[in-house]
Amino acid sequence: LIIGPGLGRDLTITKTVSLILERAIAFNMPLVIDGDGINIIVQQPQIIQGYKKVILTPNLNEYRRLCTVILNIDSLLDLNQLPSIKQLSQAIGNVTIVRKGNIDIISNGLDEMECNFSGSFRRCGGQGDVLAGVLGTFI
C-alpha cells in the first residue's frame, strides 16, 4: 500500500488515512509512505512505531520534520547537523527510511547505505512519487 503521493493535507483525509494505516498494519500489509503521508507520521509517529514492513521516503525537509518530532531536536538545525538516518530509524523501531537527496541514504536502523548514482541533473516534481511506486511494486 502506497500512502502519500497527491494526498493533500485536508483534516478529514488525514484522519481517514490514519485509520487506513492502522488497519493496514493490523493486516500486516507492507507500506510505502511518501509526501503528505509523511506529514501524518510527523503528527502521529506511534502509528508505525516498530512496524518493520514500512518504508518512509522523506526528502530533506520531511526528514527534518521527522527528526524534530521523533528525536526532539531543534527544527532550525542546519541540514548537515541533523541526526543520522540510522538514529531516526532506530528511534521509530528500525523502520526502513530512504532519505532522498543529491545522495540518497537508506537505513533500517541496523545498516546504512548510500546511493550516489548520477541521474538527471534536473530534478522535477513527481520523481518521489515514482520512487514510491517502484518501492511499492517490490515490497
Q: Do residues 75 and 53 lie in contact, with contact meaning Cβ atoms separated by under 8 Å? A: no
**Measuring CA to CA, how many Å separate 92 from each of 95, 118, 134?**
6, 30, 23
Contact 40, 20 (CB under 8 A): no
Mean pLDDT of the chain: 89
Dist. CA 76–CA 10, nearest whole Å: 26
Which pLDDT value is given to residue 122? 56
Confidence of residue 123 (pLDDT cuts 50, 70, 90): low
Write down the pTM of the prediction. 0.90
Confidence label for 73 from pLDDT (cuts 50, 70 and 90) = confident
